[in-house]
Every structure is written in structure tokens, then in C-alpha cells.
């Protein structure tokens, strides 16, 4: 199992986390990487913002 991740791997895991639950080692490796990499932290925040916006749009569109 891999603890150190590249930015490319972190980006993939952030996007995959929207579709599946990450295991403990994956979550830990993301936490470690985000402490050292501001760009990946921003990507995580931007992905979260986009997910929330899409969910709100779907709710609005569906009339909930």
C-alpha cells in the first residue's frame, strides 16, 4: 500500500471519493498530501464546491 501520493494520484482519489468510500490508508495519504500541497488542497475545495453546486442545481431543477 502506498502512503505517499503524487498530485495526479490525489486528484484521482478526490474525484473517486465522490463515487465510493475511500479506505483508511487512502484517506490518510490524502491528509498527508494536503498538508504539504496547497494546489491539491485548493482542488479538493473546488471539487467540493462544484459537487454542492450540482446538487443544488439538481434539487432546483427537480422542484424539491
Question: Rounded to an integer, what distance in angstroms lies between the CA atom of residue 21 and that of residue 56?
Answer: 22
pLDDT band at residue 1 using 50, 70 and 90 as cut-offs: low
14-59 pLDDT, tens digit per residue, is 999 999 999 999 999 999 999 999 999 999 999 999 999 998 888 8
Is 64's pLDDT higher than 80?
Answer: no
CA angle in degrees (0–180, nearest 5) for 4-11-32: 35
pTM: 0.81
Q: What is the pLDDT of residue 55?
A: 87
Extract the C-alpha cell encoding 62. 427537480
Extract the C-alpha cell encoding 18. 465522490
Is 61's pLDDT higher than 70?
Answer: yes
Amino acid at each position: 500500500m502506498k502512503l505517499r501520493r503524487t498530485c495526479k494520484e490525489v486528484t484521482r482519489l478526490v474525484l473517486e471519493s465522490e463515487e465510493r468510500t475511500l479506505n483508511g490508508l487512502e484517506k490518510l495519504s490524502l491528509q498527508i498530501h494536503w498538508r504539504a500541497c496547497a494546489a491539491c488542497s485548493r482542488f479538493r475545495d473546488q471539487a467540493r464546491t462544484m459537487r454542492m453546486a450540482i446538487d443544488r442545481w439538481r434539487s432546483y431543477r427537480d422542484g424539491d
